[in-house]
A and B are shown apart, each in its own frame.
Chain A
Amino acid sequence: MAHAATHDQHDDHHHGAPKGFFARWVMSTNHKDIGTLYLVLSLIAFFIGGSFAMVIRAELFKPGLQLVQPYFFNEMTTLHALVMIFGAVMPAFVGLGNWMIPLMIGAPDMALPRMNNLSFWLLPFAFVLLLSTLFLPGGGPAGGWTLYPPLSLQGQSLAYSVFAIHLMGISSIMGAINIIATILNLRAPGMDLLKMPVFVWTWLITAFLLIAVMPVLAGAVTMLLTDKYFGTSFFNAAGGGDPVLYQHIFWFFGHPEVYIMILPAFGLISEIIPTFARKPIFGYKAMVFAVASIAFLSFIVWAHHMFAVGLPLGADIFFMYATMLIAVPTGVKVFNWVSTMWGGSMSFETPMLWAVAFVILFTIGGFSGLMLALVPADFQYHDSYFVVAHFHYVLVTGAIFAIIAGVYYWLPKWTGRMYSEFWGKVHFWNSVVWVNVLFFPQHFLGLAGMPRRIPDYNVAFANFNMVSSIGGFLFGASQLIFLGVIVHCVFFSRKQALDRVWEGARGLEWTVPSPAPHHTFEVPPLIHDEDLAHGHAVD
């Protein structure tokens, strides 16, 4: 009866995807198609941002300027960060969330499907706007992705960057609202909050962070805009303002933003490790609670990015202690992942390999994060390559490794076919080796005194820079394997995937066919607790 009822609502609802290309992909209201769009955009941005990184590493291959002018180099560092953060990492998580959250909680779609499509379509336009500045007279933004004034006010492209950030902000806020409404309102009966997969939990918390901080970023860049074009003095000491004010507002956004890029990664890893350890996650509630406390702490640590601006002593101390505190819930997460593996029955398919690498390498990034929190030491580390190494361990071997793990994990569910396990492993081993060759020496460079964001350096820094560049080129090249694996899986693979793709996989997403049909759970599923990963969560 319920089916009949749906039928009169939509002409094309039960006949799978709309026929026309434009109707299907541009006018979509389907969470899976929109999720795919996000993931494709993210992959494109990953290669664009990656090619900027290649320019950077090529110029830094040896001392002396060989390839680009310093200004262009600065454009590359700035746009590399903006494209990777707002174009690759965030859309990838939104894409994974779009695809999987409704499937994991038994919802027919996202709560607000049309808005969902708008959230996506703002992004390509925002990036066209941002990247088009490279071809405008005066060039693109070159003051770093943080757009610190007064330097950012010197750029001709400021208005375009600010508007691009506004569009991305609108997109993120709408996306986050959608995710919250979906999770809180569309769970199938029986899917209690504390039975939800950890990935869903992490996304719920991330969505709150997004709604809380993206508007603050919008406000901060709006003040940049008025300072440059309308004569305001927010960031001008002569007029009673303060350049440091911008940094406070920016990092009030910026630190939670860092967690926006890592909390869903925690969620992914918390799905993958139990699946391949064939053992439920250790300390489910502790995991959820740890994520929530990390999210809370992220609002009171922002000035740890500003220890060198000359904060009052009390502020330095407060932000140092608060930052160090984050190590505790983060530690809990790592210990819980290890405990999940302990006593399991592990196999190491490609997603698991990435997840294991995540745990180790993200922890290394966490270690350097702890070191950076110690203010006197940070007076040395700050704005050096040590910081570059730190956040690339957290964002590349953290966020991006988790995303790649998630893609391998769910790709068979999306396409209905298995990817090539062999090439997935080739991709993994190349990536994991070269990423360390790329970033580990950067710790040494920073400790030895090499500042970040410089196009050229003293010969003392030559050896490690060359090593790092070689690692960079090969890591970059390894990602072409990823592209190959995906293309093969989507278009050429013949190996049919099972509905429950992985033997140890639990959760509603594995109860639907592979590939997941265009519409799923139009009628809420009957939930059997044993289907869920946390159906009997006791702790």
Chain B
Amino acid sequence: MTTGGIRIKAWAATACALLCGVAWANPKPGQLNMPRGVTEWSERPYLLNNVALGVCVVIGVLVFGAMAIAMVRFRKSRGAVAEKWTHNTTLEIVWTTIPVLILVVLAYLATGGLTTFADTTGSQMTVKVTGYQWKWRYDYVEYRGKAIDKVGFMSRLDAQSDETRQLGSGLDPHAVQVDGENTYLLNVDEPLVVPVGVKIRFVITAGDVIHSWWVPDLGWKIDAIPGIVNAAWATIKTPGVYRGQCAELCGQDHGFMPVVVKAVTRSEFEQWLAQRQARAAPAPAATAPAPAKQG
């Protein structure tokens, strides 16, 4: 692939994102803004980000504009004579009050997003995520009221990325592709498979050091802390493969433990789950609560 090709694609992706605002599955070259995401909740950080950015741009234009005017008008070289005033009560009240009002609006929006995020009640499925140096483990705990036993697996960086990322491998990261999409460092041997349209609760912990589980398209990240369990939720709207990475420095291969979530339709998921349960049944392998032994 030529760099020119990449560039055209990048611009196309950017243009598309700016014009139609659709959700991207994965980071695109030249991507300028946060993804809108693919869950019911992920629009909130996206909108908040856009509103806050807008506010900042407006304030920036006003402040920097005033500065620019001052720097042009009040130059000594243009014969400006310094005035003596150092005070303006009205102005000072205005520029203390208006920011407060803006902050109240932002705080209102943010608080709404936060409370909905914190509410994991009503979930129909629970997945336990455990971070290890340097891989993720997924254990399916419960689906639609039924406990799931012995469905769990490690999810590691895919072999091709792993080979390519070695120092001096001489391999081209651009060559790491799945279905024409570059997945260098963003692909795993076995992704987390989840259904769309189901409120999934993730319970997240770690086995050694702190990691952080992040898929931008789900709209959040949350730390995986050894000995502590954090919870978050997502209801994915569209089927697809959503990629992310560990977001908390966790040692030398921190950059090489991607998160891949494959969202499929509910029936596909149920099929997949039944298959995994059948496969797990005969072999009395280690169970979910003791993942450390398999790490």
Q: Which of A328, A380, A384 contacts B100 (CB 8 A)?
A: A328
Residues of B within 8 A of A433 (CB): none
In the complex, A467 Cα to B164 Cα: how many Å?
Answer: 23
Which of B71-79, B146-154, B260-268, B278-286 forms part of the interface with chain A? B71-79
Is B67 in contact with A447, judged by CB distance below 8 angstroms?
A: no
Q: Which of A67, A379, A456, A461 contacts B221 (CB 8 A)?
A: A379
Is B184 in contact with A283, judged by CB distance below 8 angstroms?
A: no
In the complex, A134 Cα to B156 Cα: how many Å?
Answer: 30
B236 interface residue per 8 A CB criterion: no
Is A345 in contact with B33, judged by CB distance below 8 angstroms?
A: no
B16 interface residue per 8 A CB criterion: no
In the complex, A280 Cα to B76 Cα: how many Å?
Answer: 15
A484 interface residue per 8 A CB criterion: no
Is B169 in contact with A317, judged by CB distance below 8 angstroms?
A: no
Residues of B within 8 A of A278 (CB): 76, 82
B272 interface residue per 8 A CB criterion: no
A339 interface residue per 8 A CB criterion: yes
**Would you give the shortest CB distance from A448 to chain B, in whole angstroms?**
4
In the complex, A331 Cα to B174 Cα: how many Å?
Answer: 45
A364 interface residue per 8 A CB criterion: yes
Which of A16-24, A105-113, A237-245 forms part of the interface with chain B? A237-245
In the complex, A450 Cα to B32 Cα: how many Å?
Answer: 12
Is A376 in contact with B110, judged by CB distance below 8 angstroms?
A: yes
In the complex, A460 Cα to B52 Cα: how many Å?
Answer: 25
Which of B23-31, B122-130, B135-143, B190-198 forms part of the interface with chain A? B23-31
Is B88 in contact with A339, judged by CB distance below 8 angstroms?
A: yes
Residues of A within 8 A of B212 (CB): 308, 382-383
Question: A460 with B255: in contact, given A65-B166, A237-B226 (CB under 8 Å)?
Answer: no
Residues of B within 8 A of A538 (CB): 86-87
Instruction: Specify the chain B residue showing the minimal Cβ separation from A71.
Output: B252
Is A448 in contact with B209, judged by CB distance below 8 angstroms?
A: no
Is B70 in contact with A341, judged by CB distance below 8 angstroms?
A: yes
1/0 per residue A442-463: CB within 8 Å of B?
0010011111111111111111
B96 interface residue per 8 A CB criterion: yes
Question: A459 with B67: in contact, given A236-B227, A283-B87, A320-B114 (CB under 8 Å)?
Answer: no
In the complex, A450 Cα to B66 Cα: how many Å?
Answer: 35
Is A460 in contact with B28, judged by CB distance below 8 angstroms?
A: yes
1/0 per residue B194-219: CB within 8 Å of A?
00000000000000111010101001
A420 interface residue per 8 A CB criterion: no
Is B221 in contact with A308, judged by CB distance below 8 angstroms?
A: yes
Residues of B within 8 A of A321 (CB): 107
A74 interface residue per 8 A CB criterion: yes
In the complex, A286 Cα to B209 Cα: how many Å?
Answer: 46
Interface members, chain A 324-359 (any B CB < 8 Å): 324-325, 327-328, 331-332, 334-335, 338-339, 341-348, 356, 359
In the complex, A454 Cα to B161 Cα: how many Å?
Answer: 15
B230 interface residue per 8 A CB criterion: yes
In the complex, A237 Cα to B92 Cα: how many Å?
Answer: 50
Residues of B within 8 A of A335 (CB): 63, 91-92, 95
Is A377 in contact with B48, judged by CB distance below 8 angstroms?
A: yes
**Would you give the shortest CB distance from A247 to chain B, in whole angstroms?**
9
Residues of A within 8 A of B227 (CB): 236-238, 242-243
Is B52 in contact with A456, judged by CB distance below 8 angstroms?
A: no
**Would you give the shortest CB distance from B208 to chain A, in whole angstroms?**
7
Is A363 in contact with B60, judged by CB distance below 8 angstroms?
A: yes
A375 interface residue per 8 A CB criterion: yes
Residues of B within 8 A of A459 (CB): 6, 29, 173-174, 182, 184
Q: Which of A67, A277, A359, A455 contacts B82 (CB 8 A)?
A: A277
Instruction: Specify the chain B residue showing the minimal Cβ separation from A340.
Output: B86
Is B209 in contact with A461, judged by CB distance below 8 angstroms?
A: no
1/0 per residue B99-114: CB within 8 Å of A?
1100100110111011
Report whether over half of chain B's contact residues are helix, strand or loop; otherwise say mixed: mixed
Residues of A within 8 A of B178 (CB): none
Is B31 in contact with A448, judged by CB distance below 8 angstroms?
A: yes
Is A346 in contact with B76, judged by CB distance below 8 angstroms?
A: yes
1/0 per residue A310-325: CB within 8 Å of B?
1001001100110011
B225 interface residue per 8 A CB criterion: yes
Interface range, A side: 35 or more
Residues of A within 8 A of B15 (CB): none
Residues of B within 8 A of A132 (CB): none
A193 interface residue per 8 A CB criterion: no
**Would you give the shortest CB distance from B44 to chain A, in whole angstroms?**
5
Is B216 in contact with A66, judged by CB distance below 8 angstroms?
A: no
Is B74 in contact with A277, judged by CB distance below 8 angstroms?
A: yes
Q: Which of B48, B111, B183, B254 contacts A454 (CB 8 A)?
A: B254
Interface members, chain B 235-288 (any A CB < 8 Å): 244-256
Instruction: Specify the chain B residue showing the minimal Cβ separation from A77.
Output: B249
Instruction: With a 10 A CB-CB cut-off, give which of A67, A455, A464 has the most chain B CB atoms.
Output: A455
A279 interface residue per 8 A CB criterion: yes
In the complex, A383 Cα to B247 Cα: how many Å?
Answer: 6
Is B219 in contact with A453, judged by CB distance below 8 angstroms?
A: no
Q: Which of A154, A317, A384, A454 contacts B255 (CB 8 A)?
A: A454
Is A375 in contact with B114, judged by CB distance below 8 angstroms?
A: yes
Question: A367 with B31: in contact, given A243-B210, A360-B67 (CB under 8 Å)?
Answer: no
Interface residues of B (CB under 8 A from A): 6-7, 10, 26-35, 44-45, 48-49, 52-53, 56, 59-60, 63-64, 66-67, 70-71, 74-77, 80-88, 91-92, 95-96, 99-100, 103, 106-107, 109-111, 113-115, 117-118, 164-169, 171-174, 182-186, 208-210, 212, 214, 216, 219-223, 225-228, 230-231, 244-256
With A65-B166, A320-B107, A380-B219 known, 12 other A-B pairs at CB within 8 A are A65-B165, A339-B91, A342-B66, A347-B76, A370-B106, A374-B109, A375-B113, A377-B110, A453-B249, A459-B6, A460-B182, A461-B27
Can you offer 5 A-B residue contacts whose CB atoms are under 8 A? Answer: A63-B185, A142-B252, A332-B95, A363-B63, A449-B216
Nearest first, the 5 closest Cβ-Cβ pairs linking A and B are A237-B227, A454-B255, A376-B113, A310-B230, A379-B220
Interface residues of A (CB under 8 A from B): 63-71, 74, 142-144, 148, 150-151, 154, 236-238, 242-244, 277-284, 286, 308-310, 313, 316-317, 320-321, 324-325, 327-328, 331-332, 334-335, 338-339, 341-348, 356, 359-360, 363-364, 367-368, 370-371, 374-377, 379-380, 382-384, 444, 447-464, 504, 537-539
